[in-house]
Amino acid sequence: MITLDRLINVLGGYGARWQAGTADRSTELRSVVLPEVVDGRTMPGDVLLAVGASSQAEALDWATAAGAVVVLTRAAGRAVAAIGDIAVVVIDSAMSWSEFAAVVYGLVLEGRETDSGRGPTDLFALADSLSGAVGGAVVIEDRQSRVLAFSRGQQDADPARAATILARQAPPDVRARLEAAGVFAHLSVSDEPLFVPADPGAGLTGRMVVAARAGRDPLGSVWVATPRALAGEERRALADGAHTVALHLLRSRASADLERQVESELVIRLLEAPADSATLASRLGLPPSALRVVALRAQDGGERHAALLQTFELATAGFGWSRPSRSALADTTVYTVLAADEAAIARAWVTALLTALPRQLTVHAGISAPATATDLAVARSEADECLALHEGTGVADPPAYDESWNDVVLQRLKTAAGVGRRPHRGAVSELRAHDAAHGTAYVGTLRAWLQEHGDPVRTALRLGVHENTVRYRIRRMSELTDLQLDDADKRFAMMIELAVRD
């Protein structure tokens, strides 16, 4: 059941804004009504769509008569005084009432029918109906050109249609030809159907395509296989069908946004290690086996916000019961809790995510060590440190804490050295200054000698010199500075300084 608070938060993404009213935001909403009187009785409901209200005062009168908790109105301007406990939400003029009604009805009455839950199953029936009206095979795609539904009819079907359905998206060569022909540029700005002529090289017999749009927001597209441009009734049927598809996609996206919000809140709670961690993990459908936290950041050039939202949307897409992960968006990071004993499983999940994201995005990731549900707060910190390591070093594969804890420790020390007081005197600093002034290689020799535990033979092999050269250099370094190589604490301190300075 959706609450008033969730309704207002989700509708905010569609251009609506709360303006006034003291209604309890935890109130559960169960019904949606229009201002209507039947047999002398005002139809009651929790959410009133004030269609046709000339002012907020009139909208509030209707809401009071219906016993509504919240009224949605297009009448903006100054709020009416003494509104009381009815929440007033003003909607964006760019969206039609029919489009906004689809969102609200989807949230309040059909919230379980989403692309992160069961999915918009009725889109297939809609594709069949539209195919019959226009006389061609239909494919419905989302705004990333992924196939959502297709008709059973095969009128004028061609190899490109078969490949698109099998791959769940248009093959790269087909998409490249369509993009070169200006098809996607047309869809981004126009609601008019467009005819794409036959292209035998791409396996296309011809297409009619139209954008499915809500207000200014493109939600997807409808494609019809046809060797000729549709006209008359068929063209009108395609345009009307695209509007109906947009309403379905709008409702589905709104419900998916709601489920993402719920999922995100539960994951964030789980990452804070509450007393009911096991219960929360069960509610999220996470198995009782080992879990890992994956922290991700994305950016598109200098733009971070849109890239982060794309990453979060993709991480939470798919059927909830089959998706192996649960994700949350917190500040500048997407956190994903994933059932994975091995780091390779988590890396494979990250790779699959990157493959589906636009190529121009830059994504960094960090993976925690395996943890139980009660230890996920610690796992989150591990993932954060591995993410910082990935961002700082630029290594190809996202680091996992159980494999890269030593690099994480050194990263911590480097960070501390960067903000604190670095030693400007002492054995290492003095040898570094001598190397700079005289072209010697004493610092590199000292590092190799420490790494090889003082063995001159292995140190010589590491450096590619004779072992007597190593012995000479060590003796000469001891003359230049107070090395004290027989002191274990001094050796340890020098190893740390060498690690954090280079």
Mean pLDDT (the chain, rounded): 83
Minimal CA–CA distance to 131: which of 261, 241, 12, 270? 241
Fold designation for 427-501? Arc Repressor Mutant, subunit A (1.10.10)
Q: How confident is the model at residue 489 (pLDDT cuts 50, 70, 90)?
A: confident
Fold topology of 272-417: Alpha-Beta Plaits (3.30.70)
CA distance 327 to 124: 28
In which residue ranges of the chain is CATH 3.30.450.40 found?
122-253
Decide: residue 290, CB within 10 A, 0-12 exposed, 13-18 middle, 19+ buried: middle
Q: Is 345 helix (H, G, I), strand (E, B) or coil?
A: helix
Tokens at 496, concatenated: 């740390």
CATH code that applies to domain 2-108: 3.40.1390
Fill in the DSSP letter of residue 192: S
Dist. CA 391–CA 379, nearest whole Å: 18
Within the chain, which residue ranges are assigned CATH 1.10.10.2840? Answer: 427-501
The four Cα atoms 264, 267, 271, 275 give a dihedral, to 10 degrees, of: 130
The mean pLDDT of 149-166, rounded to a whole number, is 78
pLDDT in tens, 321-336: 447 789 888 888 999 9
| Per-residue pLDDT band at 111 (split at 50, 70, 90) | very low
CATH topology of domain 122-253: Beta-Lactamase (3.30.450)
Whole-structure pTM value: 0.53
Instruction: Kindly report the three-state secondary structure assignment for every residue of 83-118.
Output: CCCCEEEECCCCCCHHHHHHHHHHHHCCCCCCCCCC
pLDDT in tens, 195-243: 999 888 888 888 999 998 876 677 889 999 999 999 999 999 998 888 8
State the average pLDDT over residues 93-117.
67
Which residue ranges does the chain devote to CATH 3.40.1390? 2-108
Let me know the angle formed at the C-alpha of 266 by 30 and 85, rounded to the nearest 5 degrees: 35
